[in-house]
Amino acid sequence: MLSKPDDVFDRDDEWADLADFTASDLPGLRIAIVYGRRRQGKSYLLRRLAEAAGGLYHLATEQTESIALRRFADSFATWLGQPTGALAFNDWEHALTYATRVMADRRHEGVGAPMLVLDEFPYLAHTTPGLPSIVQALYDEIGPGGTGGRTPLRLVLCGSAISVMADLLSGTKALRGRGALEMRVTPFGFRDARSYWGITDPNTAFTHNALIGGTPGYRELVPVPRIPEDPEGIGRWMVRNVLRPTVPLFDEANRVIHEDPRIRDTAVYSSLLAAVAAGESAPAKIGGLLGRPTSSLSYQLRMLESAGFIERRHDLLLDRRPAIAVADPVMRLHHLVIEPYLAELEAGRAADVWHDAQHTVKSKILGPHLEAIAAEWTVRYGRREAGLETGGAGPATLPCKEHRTSHEIDVLGLVRGARPRTAGAGVAFVAEAKARDRPPGIEQLRRLEHIRELLNRSGHDAADAPLGLFSANGFTDEVRAEALHRQDVLLIGMEHLYGDAPVERA
């Protein structure tokens, strides 16, 4: 297998999948679809893959069809060792047919790898709407079921317009059923993001991740990438690197929403995102705030979801409408802190704004983010680091006749193999996540005990489910003392979430 270069940070799984796809000896043309938001490192990853394999990486730009063809001809000529201008193509059918034939010939001669990467493919498809059909025809001719050749050829189509790229293989589209690999490149997880930014203190890493997220390209956009790790350091860093109109991240949310060609009425989309960021999670309430019927927002919500700006969080116990939440931390920060205080920030009062927005930051940014990464930790690290036998994990709601209410469960882990929202689904973990200043204690533990009892009464086998408290600010002495003598209680602080200390069980 192709070795991953040392300068490619993380992305081990992505590299392994792409390397297997590239190096496979399976005959015929095989197509990979790679997509993700800008600044995730897709282009860098694919460029280094092409270099390692000896293939051709071509980055398209937003140009007319004739210029795009000329640029591709020059890229291909350079790859062949010929001078710029040595090649010319009449159209994309001519270009791709010629390129794949030459690559196949060179493969037989033992020169170069039959691999072609077309990055920012949506730019090409926009000026040549029939391009996916051209690729389809080429695949049908020289693909696994074709009759035009058996030489292994690899074509990677990459793009940042997520809704366009994800649609290539769907429904009745030309390339449906023709993709051998479909990969979405996402931001780094919270632990990898900490390593990438070089942050030592886990509390600082958590706050930074809640505000900025794990998009690797953002490190290159800030004036001072190094983050101070004293208690007030993250505030100073935000004021200098994010909350000033002259720095790139200040207006990043507006830029990224314009990148997807299917998001046209940006005022409506921005209003939707602002409502969701403020805490509205039901389509009916979002529509009410915007003065529009829910049905009229269905398309916009689908577009925001496909672009990765929002996500639908399904209740693991109840079969009801999923809650809508902002999936992108920078988008959330923009609509909760930057947009509401825009005039003051433009007047140079970033330090005042950061101070005044602390309640919003803690309640609507840090709190929801801790719940999200607590669920991620449960699934990704819980088994290895705490012995949890969980499958899926996420929020849940449990009716309680005794208190005449419904209990909101921050993190509920189902047993491995259990299907969400089915009667009697076994429960392997019940937890609460708190990012507030006051540390959780006995009161929160008793609430979890009550919820576990209710789960058992409701037909969900939760008798052996451990109870967990996730906290950004430690725990009370009382709950620490009780946890020391109970095997069914886990106290998970920042040092445990980030793997700096083992999770202790009695």
Same domain, 376 and 488: yes
pLDDT over 90 at 441, yes or no:
yes
Same domain, 177 and 95: yes
Over residues 60-66, the mean pLDDT reads: 96
The residue among 176, 208, 241 that closes a domain is: 241
In a domain, 362, yes or no: no
109 band by pLDDT with thresholds 50, 70 and 90: low
Arithmetic mean of pLDDT over the chain: 93
Nearby residues of 364 by Cβ (< 8 Å), 6 or more positions away: 277, 278, 279, 332, 336
pLDDT in tens, 382-392: 999 999 999 99
Same domain, 268 and 203: no
As a whole number of angstroms, the distance between CA 242 and CA 232 comes to 15
pLDDT at residue 449, rounded to an integer: 98
pLDDT in tens, 161-189: 887 888 887 777 878 888 899 999 999 99
pLDDT at residue 428, rounded to an integer: 97
Same domain, 142 and 92: yes
Same domain, 52 and 173: yes
Same domain, 318 and 461: no
The Cβ-side half-sphere exposure at 282, using a 13 Å CA radius, reads 5
Over residues 122-131, the mean pLDDT reads: 94
pLDDT in tens, 464-500: 999 999 999 999 999 999 999 999 999 999 999 999 9
pLDDT at residue 36, rounded to an integer: 93
CATH code of the domain containing 94: 3.40.50.300
In a domain, 296, yes or no: yes
What is the token pair recorded at 431?
């937890």
pLDDT at residue 112, rounded to an integer: 59
Helices (H) and strands (E) in the chain, counts: 23, 12
In a domain, 465, yes or no: yes
What is the token pair recorded at 358?
């602390």
Same domain, 342 and 424: no
Cβ atoms of 382 and 429 closer than 8 Å = yes
In a domain, 441, yes or no: yes
The total domain count for the chain is 4
Same domain, 158 and 47: yes
The residue among 323, 356, 389 that closes a domain is: 356
CATH code of the domain containing 287: 1.10.10.10
pLDDT over 60 at 85, yes or no:
yes
pLDDT over 70 at 5, yes or no:
yes
Same domain, 344 and 383: no
Quick one: which H or E segment has residue 433? strand 427-434
Give the global pTM.
0.93
Total residue length of the chain = 506
Q: Which residue range(s) make up the domain with 384?
A: 369-497
CA dihedral 406→410→416→422, nearest 10 degrees, is 20
Over residues 431-437, the mean pLDDT reads: 94
pLDDT in tens, 10-60: 999 999 999 999 988 888 999 999 999 999 999 999 999 999 999 999 999
106 band by pLDDT with thresholds 50, 70 and 90: confident
- Among 177, 111, 43, which Cα is nearest to 18's? 43
414 band by pLDDT with thresholds 50, 70 and 90: very high
Same domain, 165 and 61: yes
The residue among 300, 326, 356 that closes a domain is: 356
Percent pLDDT > 90 in the chain is 76
In a domain, 503, yes or no: no
232 band by pLDDT with thresholds 50, 70 and 90: confident
pLDDT in tens, 319-377: 888 999 999 999 999 999 999 999 999 999 999 999 999 999 999 999 999 999 999 99
What is the token pair recorded at 172?
């009745």
pLDDT at residue 111, rounded to an integer: 55
**Residue 332 to residues 45, 328, 365: CA-CA distances in angstroms?**
27, 6, 8
Over residues 437-455, the mean pLDDT reads: 96
First to last CA, the chain: 44
In a domain, 158, yes or no: yes
Same domain, 38 and 55: yes
In a domain, 6, yes or no: no
In a domain, 305, yes or no: yes
230 band by pLDDT with thresholds 50, 70 and 90: confident
pLDDT at residue 110, rounded to an integer: 64
Same domain, 471 and 444: yes
Over residues 427-431, the mean pLDDT reads: 98
